[in-house]
Structure 1
């Protein structure tokens, strides 16, 4: 048998560290071991019942075939209306509906980045950004926010020194995975000023924008000068607890939409028809369910901060998403491996996100399981 000669693009990337930890947790659970899995960013709430029923009704009504590649018109218009409410000047022509927000990001990177193009990331950054940059042939320029408790505003001078006229793209994720940080308007205005000065395009990943605690998230594309240089990424997985439905979207200037649409049509064809119909229900009639989930996440966050404080662990407190970065040993990979093997608590090493010395935990789990996780980590000497 001859060996395969793999393409350079796939050799440049590693498997997802998050899913690797989750797979290890699954293996332990298959052996009968009780694992508190805080590694995967998936809400532990069911999809709202009215959304489920809308999907079922759509299937029963025969919406099981292809749709127009960019998405059904009703959903694209509902998304555009939602974004206009966020201050973004857009129409349905600016929207592509994708099978998950990750696909929207992938199409954006592939449309904008050529070999050697510079992409700036704010560390810690979601692991798939790095992989997508490498798959597109781009080069990474990373700005470390860890010294500033993961906030962007005090790091604007660092960002200013890092970017230049050679920077093609900047990725901003607020609320942030993995830190939960919600960047201030002043920070986003600083991003705007640098983007305009150096003619940088900006991806604004806003997948967690409805999960914030006591603050309002601002869409970058709503700022003066940003409408024609921002690609807004969002989706239904987090706010509506629809991870397995795989539904997301991008909103961008029409010239980018026309290019990304070519990738879209030649790869995934379209998002699933009846899932799109369920998405219309989600975006128009789920306010109560979103509020209930958001309130629960906030209570869990506050509880965890108090529990870690009892063990003299000072945790940077984020105002959004459902993640927390806890300081651990310098070798965070070894810490996470030990935590799952000894305490049977699954976390993700901060080095996977570009910030060694931390571990990311997801508090998309019940209060009981979160308490159990902290107890186990304390009992086994990990905090």
Structure 2
């Protein structure tokens, strides 16, 4: 290659930035004694009955490909799960695809609906992969920033103000990563009217649906008029403590699913056969485990929010997921400075808020998906750090 590799790369690949989260994870991994509040992953092990069912499936020789959309038996269980828990009906034959994680499901959604030049509204702060996946599909991600004044909740008015003649879709995550904000039915209904008015598609990331604490979860597809406009994203990673399994699913009207299935066929073929048996067991017989984990997260959330506010880091009460998103503005540090110095001085790893969009500057994301003992120690260290910094600012 006479001109070097760079000349052969696509513009999209060259402009794509690496995940900003990895920088802090990699640095923390190289240090001893670090308490990580950065990983968006349950600290619980996948329930034993799910692991056992998967082991048994391997022993029984279920190591081949499945149907591209996934085992029909699993899709039937997903359909029953969505109807039972969220009051939405999807035909397991042609309206559900089992994917390699919820991330693949989001990728499929964008690749199926986005044309070059289309704009997709991304509610920020947002998970780091959303905007890059829109760009990889040839679209233009448009951030719509939320405010701490109302707990980082997106409003219909904010969406209305961001819409242009090029707007094709909007991606919403509720409960949200990184803020933990959960939208109520009334708030979703108000958004739905704007979506209908402007003829938009909604990619709805509901991966944290099982982890809501104060109000009953409402699926956007269950809102009047939204079923035909919604591509529902969900999976097993968060609620069922199955992150490493990489099993997600999408549900949508059949015409959407048919086109997403074509892309899935060419890029992935199918999710691993034996892991799908584990997912069947999770949906049939693990809900008591989900309830136990949710109760534990609720207790931790309450402790972490109270403690952060007491040490001077303003923090709203998140309605779901397992993250808090406190303000660090009182320290006089930027989000990256705070995260770097906290890691180096006190060996606590958090994620700078600007990793989730410009509106996240001045905040950090802390995961409380770790033991209470670890949380208590981490917050003691953070208190020492904050007291030093705030004292320096005052002086």
Match of 2:367 among 362, 373, 380: 362
Q: Report the counterpart of residue 139 of structure 2 in structure 1.
A: 138
Q: Distance in 2 between matches of 1:27 and 1:137?
A: 37
Q: Report the counterpart of residue 271 of structure 1 in structure 2.
A: 271
Write out the 4+ residue segments of structure 1 that deviate beyond 6 Å after TM superposition: none
Offset of 1:319 from its aligned partner?
Answer: 1.2
Offset of 1:27 from its aligned partner?
Answer: 1.6
The answer to whether structure 1 residue 299 and structure 2 residue 309 are counterparts is no
Q: Report the counterpart of residue 345 of structure 2 in structure 1.
A: 342
The answer to whether structure 1 residue 110 and structure 2 residue 111 are counterparts is yes
Q: Distance in 1 between matches of 2:389 and 2:71?
A: 50
Offset of 1:115 from its aligned partner?
Answer: 1.6
Offset of 1:382 from its aligned partner?
Answer: 5.3
Q: Which ranges of structure 2 fall in alignment gaps of 5 or more residues?
A: 391-395
The answer to whether structure 1 residue 379 and structure 2 residue 384 are counterparts is yes
Offset of 1:26 from its aligned partner?
Answer: 0.9
Q: Distance in 1 between matches of 2:72 and 2:111?
A: 25
- Equivalent pairs, count: 378
Offset of 1:336 from its aligned partner?
Answer: 1.0
Offset of 1:214 from its aligned partner?
Answer: 2.4
Q: Distance in 1 between matches of 2:23 and 2:106?
A: 21
Q: Report the counterpart of residue 23 of structure 2 in structure 1.
A: 20
Contact 1:165 1:200 in 2 (8 A): no
Q: Report the counterpart of residue 393 of structure 2 in structure 1.
A: none
Q: Distance in 2 between matches of 1:338 and 1:201?
A: 42
The answer to whether structure 1 residue 122 and structure 2 residue 149 are counterparts is no
Contact 1:89 1:227 in 2 (8 A): no
Offset of 1:165 from its aligned partner?
Answer: 4.4
Offset of 1:8 from its aligned partner?
Answer: 1.5
Offset of 1:79 from its aligned partner?
Answer: 0.6
Contact 1:174 1:183 in 2 (8 A): yes
Offset of 1:146 from its aligned partner?
Answer: 2.0
Contact 2:184 2:215 in 1 (8 A): no
TM-score, length-scaled by structure 2: 0.93
Q: Distance in 2 between matches of 1:106 and 1:212?
A: 25
TM-score, length-scaled by structure 1: 0.95
Aligned residue for 2:227, secondary structure, equals: coil
Q: Report the counterpart of residue 101 of structure 1 in structure 2.
A: 102
Contact 1:339 1:382 in 2 (8 A): no
Q: Distance in 1 between matches of 2:362 and 2:309?
A: 18
Offset of 1:305 from its aligned partner?
Answer: 1.6
Aligned residue for 1:249, secondary structure, equals: strand
Give the 3 Å change call, closer, same or farther, for CA 331–287 of structure 1 in structure 2.
same
Equivalences for residues 164-179 of structure 1 within 5 A: 164-179=164-179
Q: Distance in 2 between matches of 1:361 and 1:309?
A: 14
Give the 3 Å change call, closer, same or farther, for CA 165–222 of structure 1 in structure 2.
farther
Q: Report the counterpart of residue 41 of structure 2 in structure 1.
A: 42
The farther-off stretch of 256-265 and 66-75 is 256-265
Contact 1:174 1:208 in 2 (8 A): yes
Contact 2:77 2:280 in 1 (8 A): yes
Aligned residue for 1:360, secondary structure, equals: strand
Give the 3 Å change call, closer, same or farther, for CA 382–58 of structure 1 in structure 2.
farther
Q: Which ranges of structure 1 fall in alignment gaps of 5 or more residues?
A: none
The farther-off stretch of 228-237 and 372-381 is 372-381
Offset of 1:37 from its aligned partner?
Answer: 0.7
Measured on the aligned residues, the alpha-carbon RMSD in Å equals: 1.4
Offset of 1:25 from its aligned partner?
Answer: 1.1
- State the Cα deviation string for residues 335-372 of structure 1 (Å, max 9, x = none): 11111111111111111111111000100111111111
Contact 2:105 2:233 in 1 (8 A): yes
- State the Cα deviation string for residues 262-289 of structure 1 (Å, max 9, x = none): 1111111100001001100111111111
Q: Report the counterpart of residue 162 of structure 1 in structure 2.
A: 162
The answer to whether structure 1 residue 219 and structure 2 residue 219 are counterparts is yes
Contact 1:348 1:360 in 2 (8 A): yes
Q: Distance in 2 between matches of 1:228 and 1:382?
A: 51
Q: Distance in 2 between matches of 1:137 and 1:333?
A: 30
Offset of 1:164 from its aligned partner?
Answer: 4.1
Aligned residue for 2:176, secondary structure, equals: coil
Aligned residue for 1:40, secondary structure, equals: coil
Aligned residue for 1:119, secondary structure, equals: strand
Q: Distance in 1 between matches of 2:352 and 2:313?
A: 17
